[in-house]
Structure 1
């Protein structure tokens, strides 16, 4: 299981532990990953993801998982999140064409 956020792509960073004597040793800064279940309004189902705490706050700020996925660039999303984004676009396109057909008749 990789230490990578499925929504933002945040991964482990490297740096130094610096002692009082200014000795430097290598260390890793790991993202604060959480196993969460988020609800997709358009797909009407819940989705389990492993995301960072920062990403969880961003999802809430943008108005939910659907809004976050539609706005997020494809390069930073995991394959699981990309699949969700494709499903979401497909469902929204179907709803749009169904709504347009009803309005025309």
Structure 2
């Protein structure tokens, strides 16, 4: 499983550990990935593997449905885009 957020696109970064003697060794900065269940108005319960920051972003924007509808398609991952299409499809069938 890739260490990449489905919503924000955060991924592993690299850098250096720097000691007091200024010795540099390579290290990896891992994103804080969580498996979270979101409640979608259209789809019900949806489980996503997202970063902790993405959880806050979704909650601030009014939930999963409203967040996905407000974000441009080019900024979403493939799985998030499929989820957005499922939400759009269910909203058309209900109307």
Corresponding residue of 1:56: 55
1:8 aligns with 2:8: yes
Which ranges of structure 1 fall in alignment gaps of 5 or more residues? 99-105
Question: 66-75 vs 46-55, which deviates more?
Answer: 66-75
Structure-to-structure mapping, 1:39-78, within 5 angstroms: 39-43=39-43, 45-78=44-77
Shift of 1:42: 2.3
Corresponding residue of 2:21: 21
How many residues get paired?
Answer: 95
**RMSD over aligned Cα atoms:** 1.4
Shift of 1:94: 4.1
Shift of 1:73: 2.9
Structure with the higher helix share, 1 or 2: 1
Query: What TM-score comes out, normalization by structure 1 length?
Result: 0.81
Which ranges of structure 2 fall in alignment gaps of 5 or more residues? none
1:38 aligns with 2:38: yes
Q: Secondary structure at the match of 2:2?
A: coil
Shift of 1:70: 1.2
